[in-house]
């Protein structure tokens, strides 16, 4: 990074002192992570935001839905700031609240809404978290999806019963968790396509399903293929393949281990020196993990897969601008969730935070 910019960042950070707390998601650039007070996956960062009541400003180096969740979980006299408002998430954008409401009407018409609980992945808008709270469901992240799904099925008669979960917006995390952790069959999972009338499903398909998966995916993780796994195994005998659960089911099935960004870091920390690893997640994180473990042989699962372009929008110039503005008394890019949505989204987020484990 430009040394002058780094110097300005240090000066602004020092001037803000305890008034500001900086959170950095694992997919952020190194130049941003250098200034993060805490780094984490989306679950850890939500908890960290809620645990900093003394910070006047929470500067969220991550994407929009994470900053919204932090705003919901912090008090009204705290301000959450996203250094670049264009840092969205293509997956979160795949589920609009009006589409989700229409989907619920389809479930009502099929006579199954009262036996269905919504579970929304953290990677969704505050409006969808609020919808989930209004319908007594829960938020989940990639690190607690199994616990969240077990809890949700318990609310509608148990995993062995006939109740259903509407899982939004990541079909892959929902499918992977249902099949690999809860032991459901692929046939029990159906995909609701919001662009098709009735989600593209018949009433009978909806009635027979246990997991109704929203048709959404991550544009980064969705690009890893089963062939990537086969190729790396052929190239590096004995390699361990570790992927994020936003990858497609065939990739997760072909891999050795699956888990959130925090799990990936912990797994590499605990790995034997000299062991070989192929990691299927965002490139900033994989590069940092590789740099932190020069004694291990760390590969990127597919060298053509790019960074998460929206995570990458947060760069040092944006962070410096944010901090210098605050020092000058100007609050830039505050993230404020509408109070009714915030109330109900908090119900669903609190439900997640209350899950065991
Ligand atoms: P986690 O931080 O929960 O691993 O999720 C990854 C992700 O895609 C965040 O956008
Ligand atoms: Fe969204 Fe995927 Fe980027 Fe995460 S990695 S912010 S899910 S697009």
CATH of the domain at 43: 3.40.50.10800
Closest residue CA from atom 5 of ligand 2: 308
* Residue 294: exposure state from Cβ atoms within 10 A (0-12, 13-18, ≥19): exposed
Residue 217 labeled ligand binder: no
**Claim to verify: residue 96 and residue 214 sit in the same structural domain:** yes
Burial 143-164 (b: 16+ CB within 10 A, else e): bbbbbbbbbbbeebeebeeebb
Q: At 331, is the secondary structure helix, strand, or coil? A: coil
Alpha-carbon dihedral sign for residues 19, 24, 30, 31: negative
pLDDT at 153: 98
pLDDT at 1: 79
261 Cβ closer than 6 Å to some ligand 1 atom: yes
Inter-helix orientation angle 64-73/126-134, to 10°: 50
**What is the distance between the alpha carbons of residues 48 and 28, in angstroms, rounded to a whole number?**
17
Mutate to test the pocket of ligand 2, among 224, 261, 308 (most ligand atoms within 8 A of CB): 308
**Claim to verify: residue 164 and residue 242 sit in the same structural domain:** no
Per-residue pLDDT of 245-302, as tens digits, reads 999 999 999 999 999 999 999 999 999 999 999 999 999 999 999 999 999 999 999 9
Residues 6+ apart with CB under 8 A from 349: 46, 69, 72, 73, 129, 133, 139
**Which among 244, 234, 194, 237 is positioned nearest to 215, based on CA atoms?**
194
pLDDT at 236: 97
Residue 205 CA to ligand 1 centre (angstroms): 31
**Which among 13, 5, 63 is positioned nearest to 36, based on CA atoms?**
13
Mutate to test the pocket of ligand 1, among 244, 257, 258 (most ligand atoms within 8 A of CB): 244
Last residue of a domain, one of 200, 218, 236: 218
Query: Which bound ligand lies closest to the C-alpha atom of 93?
Result: 2
Q: What is the DSSP letter of 136?
A: T
Q: Are 271 and 293 in contact (CB under 8 A)?
A: yes
249 Cβ closer than 6 Å to some ligand 1 atom: no
176 Cβ closer than 6 Å to some ligand 1 atom: no
**Claim to verify: residue 268 and residue 322 sit in the same structural domain:** no
Quick check: is 355 in a domain? no
pLDDT tens for the 357 residues of the chain, in order: 799 999 999 999 999 999 999 999 999 999 999 999 999 998 899 999 999 999 999 999 999 999 999 999 999 999 999 999 999 999 999 999 999 999 999 999 999 999 999 999 999 999 999 999 999 999 999 999 999 999 999 999 998 999 999 999 999 999 999 999 999 999 999 999 999 999 999 999 999 999 999 999 999 999 999 999 999 999 999 999 999 999 999 999 999 999 999 999 999 999 999 999 999 999 999 999 999 999 999 999 997 877 899 999 999 999 999 999 999 999 999 999 999 999 999 999 999 999 987
- Model-level pTM? 0.95
**Claim to verify: residue 127 and residue 206 sit in the same structural domain:** yes
Residue 11 CA to ligand 1 centre (angstroms): 31
**Claim to verify: residue 201 and residue 129 sit in the same structural domain:** yes
**Claim to verify: residue 71 and residue 142 sit in the same structural domain:** no
Residue 309 CA to ligand 2 centre (angstroms): 8
pLDDT at 276: 98
142 Cβ closer than 6 Å to some ligand 1 atom: yes
**Claim to verify: residue 72 and residue 141 sit in the same structural domain:** no
Q: At 118, is the secondary structure helix, strand, or coil? A: strand
Domain count for the chain, please give it: 3
Residue 122 labeled ligand binder: yes
Q: Are 160 and 210 in contact (CB under 8 A)?
A: no
Residue 121 labeled ligand binder: yes
**Claim to verify: residue 188 and residue 241 sit in the same structural domain:** no
260 Cβ closer than 6 Å to some ligand 1 atom: yes
**Claim to verify: residue 20 and residue 32 sit in the same structural domain:** yes
Q: Write down the number of H helices and E strands in the chain.
A: 15, 13
Mutate to test the pocket of ligand 1, among 38, 60, 91, 122 (most ligand atoms within 8 A of CB): 122
Domain region containing 322: 3-89+311-338
What residues flank ligand 2, with Cβ below 6 Å?
27, 63, 89-91, 123, 218-220, 282, 308, 310-311
Residue 142 labeled ligand binder: yes
ipTM for the predicted complex comes to 0.96
Mutate to test the pocket of ligand 1, among 42, 242, 312 (most ligand atoms within 8 A of CB): 42
Residue 275 labeled ligand binder: no
Closest residue CA from atom 9 of ligand 1: 42
Quick check: is 348 in a domain? no
pLDDT at 303: 76
Radius of gyration of the chain (CA): 21
**Claim to verify: residue 102 and residue 212 sit in the same structural domain:** yes
Residue 196 CA to ligand 1 centre (angstroms): 28
Quick check: is 306 in a domain? no
Residues 6+ apart with CB under 8 A from 135: 104, 117, 118
What is the H or E stretch that residue 276 is in?
A: strand 276-280
Last residue of a domain, one of 171, 203, 218: 218
pLDDT at 357: 75
**Claim to verify: residue 177 and residue 77 sit in the same structural domain:** no
Residue 64 labeled ligand binder: no
**Claim to verify: residue 176 and residue 70 sit in the same structural domain:** no
């Amino acid at each position: 990074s430009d040394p002058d910019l780094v110097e300005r960042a240090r000066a602004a950070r020092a001037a803000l002192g305890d008034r500001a707390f900086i959170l950095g998601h694992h997919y952020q650039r190194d130049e941003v992570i250098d200034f993060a007070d805490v780094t984490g996956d989306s679950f850890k960062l939500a908890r960290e935001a809620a645990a900093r009541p003394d910070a006047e400003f929470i500067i969220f180096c991550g994407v929009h839905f994470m900053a919204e969740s932090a705003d919901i979980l912090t008090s009204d006299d705290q301000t959450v700031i996203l250094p670049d408002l264009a840092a969205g998430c293509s997956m979160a954008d795949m589920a609009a609240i009006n589409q989700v409401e229409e989907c619920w009407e389809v479930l009502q018409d099929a006579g199954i809404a009262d036996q269905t609980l919504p579970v929304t992945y953290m990677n969704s808008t505050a409006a969808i978290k609020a919808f989930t709270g209004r319908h007594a469901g829960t938020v989940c992240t990639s690190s607690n999806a199994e616990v969240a799904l077990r809890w949700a099925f318990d609310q509608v008669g148990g995993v062995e019963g006939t109740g259903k979960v509407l899982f939004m917006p990541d079909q892959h995390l929902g499918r992977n968790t249902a099949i690999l952790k809860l032991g459901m069959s692929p046939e029990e999972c159906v995909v609701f396509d919001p662009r098709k009338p009735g989600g593209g499903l018949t009433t009978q398909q909806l009635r027979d399903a246990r997991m109704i998966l929203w048709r959404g995916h991550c544009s980064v993780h969705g690009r890893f293929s089963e062939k990537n796994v086969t190729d790396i195994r052929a190239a590096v005998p004995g390699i361990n393949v570790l992927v994020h659960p936003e990858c497609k089911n065939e990739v997760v099935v072909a891999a050795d281990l699956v888990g959130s960004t925090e799990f990936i870091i912990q797994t590499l920390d605990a790995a034997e020196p000299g062991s070989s690893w192929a990691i299927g997640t965002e490139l900033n994180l994989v590069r940092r993990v590789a740099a932190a473990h020069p004694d291990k042989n760390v590969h990127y699962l597919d060298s053509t897969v790019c960074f998460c372009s929206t995570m990458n929008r947060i760069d040092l110039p944006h962070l410096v601008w944010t901090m210098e503005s605050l020092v000058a008394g100007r609050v830039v890019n505050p993230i404020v969730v509408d109070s009714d949505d915030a109330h109900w989204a908090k119900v669903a987020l609190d439900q997640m935070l209350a899950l065991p484990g």
